[in-house]
Amino acid sequence: MKTTLRNCSIIFLMTTIPMSCKNKVYVNNTEVFKDGSCYRTMSVTGDSSILAAQVFPVLIDSSWKKNISKTNDERNPFQIKASKQFNNVNELNAETPNDSVPLSKLKHSFNLEKKFRWFYTHLSYKETYSKINPFELIPVSDYLSSDELLLITDEPTKYLAGRDSDEIEKIKDQIMSKAFAWAQVSIYEEFIHTLSENAHLIGNPAINYQSIKAKKDTIRNYIKFKEEDISNVLFDVDSMLKICSICFNTKGFEQLDTTHSQVFNKYLEKGFKLGWLYRFAADTVKNSVVMPGLIINTNCKSLIGNKIQWEFTPMKCFFNDYEIIVTSRIINRWAFVVGAVSLALLIAGLVFGVVVRGRK
């Protein structure tokens, strides 16, 4: 746990500096059909470790078609592919997560809306990756500008345009340092908040919500004095409580330590969330969606015919929900036929009326 925050800074770095090697490579494709059904194909490429029973973010049972093949890549010589037909995207959402795979920890959902427009039907498909940042008491905007946030989440920005390589590397280092500083302060604030909310359990009138808030900077400065990198101690709750005892010059904080209390369990769980985020930060996840008809709108950068494709990294949904949206237009041929027949009947009726009146 002590290295969790340091690992988190490595994740920030991964978003801006190409990696020399990769772990597993996931490739996911969803083909959507006119009736709202879809066909999902997932593949993972890696070394012999992927030959284990379950390597996908969802559990693969007998309803999936599965095959194993070899590749020409020496680093990732094996590929496992699984595919399945779904009647609708709700069935996709109902698939059972595979807890042994870090990617399963992401809240990844699918949605499909069908809107009838007489001559056309619009199908709007959306994939959502829910925000995974567990520490939100300090806004990241206090440390990173909107352009810096776009850069660190690998979104389009002109922030580095016109700069030479040396300047770019310097800017990347500065952004990573600010992101790391935000992470430290944000996590520390969560600790103080948890401690303050449970101060009444200590049983000392001098230790309360207000007094802990007032001592917040004193406690943090003591940690910084003792530890060059405070991330070494932030998730060591027992050590943090001992520091609080020193700063308050009183006992009682030990009643909240991990041996006697569970008040910091949620705080520690959030720390573990950063830990599993680091576990799959080096993996590559490539996604694509094939839509029926003509694609008329999408927020995806890569569009080829009726197919969109994007590469996913955990930082894309670290600070905010990440959504991929695509809308296609399907021609309702029957509506054109009905319209043409109706128009023909209308014209025929008008002509017949004119002829009848002319005879009179």
Per-residue pLDDT reduced to its tens digit, 227-239: 555 666 888 999 9
Amino acid 240: pLDDT: 93
The helix/strand/coil state of 64 is coil
Residue 118 has pLDDT above 50, yes or no: yes
Which has the minimum average pLDDT: 18-32, 65-79, 281-295?
Answer: 18-32
Amino acid 17: pLDDT: 38
Give the integer Cα–Cα distance in Å for 326 and 32.
Answer: 11
Q: Where are the beta strands (DSSP E) in the chain?
A: 25-32, 38-46, 65-70, 78-86, 108-117, 120-129, 284-290, 294-298, 302-304, 307-312, 322-331
pLDDT bin (cut points 50, 70, 90) of residue 9 is very low
Q: What is the mean pLDDT of residues 235-263?
A: 92
Per-residue pLDDT reduced to its tens digit, 315-339: 888 888 999 999 999 988 766 566 6
Q: How many alpha carbons fall within 13 Å on the CB side of residue 125?
A: 28
Q: For a pLDDT cut of 90, what percent of the chain falls above it?
A: 51
Give the integer Cα–Cα distance in Å for 80 and 92.
Answer: 19
Residue 20 has pLDDT above 50, yes or no: no
**In terms of DSSP H, where are the helices of 125-164?**
146-152
Per-residue pLDDT reduced to its tens digit, 33-49: 999 999 999 999 988 88
Residue 55 has pLDDT above 50, yes or no: yes
Q: What is the mean pLDDT of residues 260-284?
A: 83
Per-residue pLDDT reduced to its tens digit, 188-246: 999 999 999 999 999 899 999 999 999 999 999 888 765 555 666 888 999 999 999 99
Q: What is the CA angle 192-193-197, rounded to 5?
A: 115
Amino acid 160: pLDDT: 87
What does the DSSP assignment read for 293-332?
SEEEEE--SEEETTEEEEEE-GGGGTSS-EEEEEEEEEE-
The helix/strand/coil state of 253 is helix
Per-residue pLDDT reduced to its tens digit, 155-183: 888 888 888 888 988 988 898 889 888 98
Q: Tell which wins on pLDDT, 18 or 79.
A: 79
Q: Please tell me the pTM assigned to this model.
A: 0.81
Which has the minimum average pLDDT: 49-58, 153-162, 270-279?
Answer: 270-279
What does the DSSP assignment read for 258-294?
TTT--TTHHHHHHHHHHHHHHHTTT-EEEEEEE-SSE
Residue 18 has pLDDT above 60, yes or no: no
